[in-house]
A and B are shown apart, each in its own frame.
Chain A
Amino acid sequence: MNGSSKLNRGQALLGWLFLSPVIVFYLIFFTIPLLFSLYLSFTEWGGFDLTLIEWVGLKNYKALFAADSTFLHPILTNTFVFAFGTVLISFVIALAVSYTITRLRFEGFWRTLYFLPTVTTVVAVGNVWLYLYNPTNGLINAVLNKLGVQSIKFLDDPTTALASIIVVGGWLGIGSSVLILTAGLKAIPEDYYEAATLEGAGLAAIYSKITLPLLKPSILFVLITSLIGGLQSFTLSLVMTKNGGPGNSTNVGGLEMYNQAFSYGNWGTASAMAFLLFICVFIVTIVQLTVFRRGGVESY
């Protein structure tokens, strides 16, 4: 063994040693729970005593796909509607806002302003909106009543409840998207804009031919992270409706899993739901990556 390979082995060992705290952390808090929940998804367990875990094979998965199961519809449907709805609202607004504020004075101030809701706890945001939506003395209905419009039962009417929560989720997501998109916009070299302007390109042409194509990596990042977050999110439903009601109209995958595990003691069912949701998130992410790669984004 020569000196050079000895040095390489030493460096490799050193690298592993530096990585070991992270590996241990991931093993304890990620890999072991992940494998345990995969195992649990094939069992029945009340969540109290490990000796009472009972192997049931595919029973939990079959129950989720049964004709009368509420998991696929309305719960999983609500989950997707919530995720796509919030992403659509937050992304479209964030794209417009970030493009505008990078052209304004005091850009930092505007960015901070839009980012503030993101650093506010979701529980607080949910409760504030709960007051705004209040059908008898909420601010929104007070304004509507002044305009001669009858009160809307935002969260009490099953036809408007999910949409009302999506608006809050979308509003909440604007800040983080603005932050990433403004960073992406600032990374686009000014030379391109100067050259395009000299060539006589208008605002619309500059935006569609330069800004959007060069912003694609940031857009991809925003869309993937927001969608994953949206598919996993349940705090707003929990805070604003307590139980995903009326009926199941605002019930989403995360909330149902939480209730199955911690309220009903059906840890097997909850774990099976978690893995189905994981597969959904995985497929959505792959589709997004494929679409963007075809569009020329190779950095992910």
Chain B
Amino acid sequence: MNKFASRAASIALASALAVGLAACGSGKDQGLGGDGKPVTLTLLSHYAGPQEEKLKPYVDMWNKDHPDIQVKLEPVDFGELLKTIQAKQTAGQVADIMHVYSLWGGQLTKSKVLAEPPADVVEDVNKNYPEASIKGASIGGKVYGFPTEVNAYGLFYNKRLLKEAGFDNPPKTWDELYDMAKALTKKDASGNIVQQGFGFVRGYASIVDQPFMALMATAGGQLISDDLKQAQLDSEAGRKTMEFAAKFYKDGIADVSFSVSKTFPAEQTAMTIQAGWYAGSLQGTMKEAYANIGSAPLPSPDGKTQGSIAYSWMWGVNNKSKHQQEAWEFLKWFNTVAVKDGLTPEGAFLLDAFNSLSTRKSDLEAKPSKDKMADDAVLKTFIDALNYAKPEPNPSAGAEIQDILFKQIESTWTGQTTPEAAVQAAQKDIQAKLGAE
């Protein structure tokens, strides 16, 4: 019996240890980092699939020249990026370098996720980027990393569809936009839309909110005050924008089920509001038909005011990374050193992957960027828009505020609520979130 009990005890102990080890075994070796041994930095971004393929050659270039500091890519889809950062951080499996949407900046700095950059990085950013980019990479006025994608919103339109309906130019005022959209919308015998004059993109919060905020900017308004303390949706501009956006759906000119993401490239939606990166995506999907695509500044209520918003991303370093110095070394190389026709790796990557330009002065002055701007009228619209676009606000409850607005906007499009009620509800909830900060 004793022998049996001791054997059973051994088995039980081994099992318990196995369970314990399984629980602890998810920890990941971040790299060695010991004296004289190479360091492996993990780079977490939403550059997955084809974008990862475009990013990898530059990372390989660094890895080849820096055997002591190796960089490993960890791509996830955009929708999962913040959740992945959260989960990994909480589990202690921090990524050393992160590509961060500036809207999350407040939330991430409040939780001390982002490390403060060294003085030379701050100086470089302040010296070499335009104001909109610097603001995008700053939280509470403090720079937290290198600005990367900085995208302003504008109007995309299909020249062929507009021409067929008798319009030679894109709309300049909100009234023109509405009237042209009405003329361009076609329905079948059952009343289903077969061609949509104008539609907003749907799917997730940022892609709905940002065009809304860009339109609101053309009416002279902004969602949140510059000091991030006051919600300003319940303003004349806010109410007017909510009413205007909902009118397309209420009047049957647009249909929430008529997916703009699918029908604009298929030339079944004539006009939409999107950010500059969309041009690169359209080029890839539309091939020759891309020649039909035009872009213009957003129409405004009076046709004179220029307005838009710009959202941005930045490269930051994790506050809990054991290799912060090495991570900043890599980022300095990636964002400041010219490696291809005068472009930095970041500049070359943005041009390769998105057909868009880095806002770093040296990248904008490089020949490929100048050639691009001279050849590409669509791209020029969005580069110009950066001069007047307001940066997207990034309070620490940014993601939650974005969802509050998104749900209210969508509720007006689907007739669940009136624009006035949506403005009141969103204003109250957003103010509560700002007040709680």
Question: Per-residue CB proximity of A26-47 to B under 8 Å, as 1/0?
Answer: 0011000000000000000011
- Return B75 CB to nearest CB of chain A, in Å: 18
Q: Is the CB of A247 within 8 A of B407?
A: yes
Residue of B nearest to A152 (CB): B257
Please pick, from B113, B400, B411, the residue contacting A247 in the complex, using a CB distance under 8 A. Answer: B411
Q: Is the CB of A247 within 8 A of B83?
A: no
What is the CA–CA distance of A1 and B298 in the complex, to the nearest angstrom? 92
What is the CA–CA distance of A24 and B89 in the complex, to the nearest angstrom? 25
Tell me if A20 is interfacial: C-beta within 8 Å of chain B: yes
- Return A101 CB to nearest CB of chain B, in Å: 38
Inter-chain contacts of B190 with A (CB < 8 A) = 145, 150-151
Please pick, from A13, A28, A52, A242, the residue contacting B19 in the complex, using a CB distance under 8 A. Answer: A28
- Return A227 CB to nearest CB of chain B, in Å: 28
- Return B186 CB to nearest CB of chain A, in Å: 14
Question: Per-residue CB proximity of B94-135 to A under 8 Å, as 1/0?
Answer: 000000000000011011110000000000000000000000
Q: Is the CB of B112 within 8 A of A245?
A: no
Inter-chain contacts of B90 with A (CB < 8 A) = 47-48
What is the CA–CA distance of A71 and B108 in the complex, to the nearest angstrom? 25
Please pick, from B111, B397, B403, the residue contacting A52 in the complex, using a CB distance under 8 A. Answer: B111
Tell me if B169 is interfacial: C-beta within 8 Å of chain A: no
Inter-chain contacts of B203 with A (CB < 8 A) = 242
Knowing A17-B8, A151-B190 are in contact, say whether A10-B82 is a contact too (CB < 8 A). Answer: no
Tell me if A55 is interfacial: C-beta within 8 Å of chain B: no
Inter-chain contacts of B407 with A (CB < 8 A) = 243, 245, 247-248
Q: Is the CB of A150 within 8 A of B191?
A: yes
What is the CA–CA distance of A242 and B205 in the complex, to the nearest angstrom? 10
What is the CA–CA distance of A23 and B171 in the complex, to the nearest angstrom? 69
Q: Is the CB of A151 within 8 A of B192?
A: yes
What is the CA–CA distance of A150 and B189 in the complex, to the nearest angstrom? 10
Among residues 63 to 99 in chain B, which have CB atoms less than 8 Å away from a CB atom of chain A? 79, 82-83, 86-87, 89-90
Q: Is the CB of A47 within 8 A of B19?
A: no
What is the CA–CA distance of A151 and B252 in the complex, to the nearest angstrom? 14
Q: Is the CB of B413 within 8 A of A246?
A: yes
Query: Among the interface residues B9, B19, B417, which one has the most CB atoms of the partner chain A within 10 A?
Result: B19
Q: Is the CB of A247 within 8 A of B257?
A: no
15 pairs, A vs B, C-beta closer than 8 Å: A10-B5, A13-B5, A14-B5, A21-B19, A28-B19, A48-B86, A48-B112, A52-B112, A153-B257, A242-B79, A243-B406, A245-B410, A247-B408, A261-B86, A264-B107
Query: Which A residues form the contact surface with B (CB < 8 A)?
Result: 7, 10, 13-14, 17-18, 20-21, 24-25, 28-29, 46-49, 52, 68, 135-136, 145, 150-151, 153, 156-158, 242-243, 245-249, 259, 261-266
Query: Which B residues form the contact surface with A (CB < 8 A)?
Result: 1, 5, 8-9, 12-13, 15-16, 18-20, 23, 79, 82-83, 86-87, 89-90, 107-108, 110-113, 190-192, 203-205, 256-259, 397, 399-400, 403, 406-408, 410-411, 413-417, 428-429
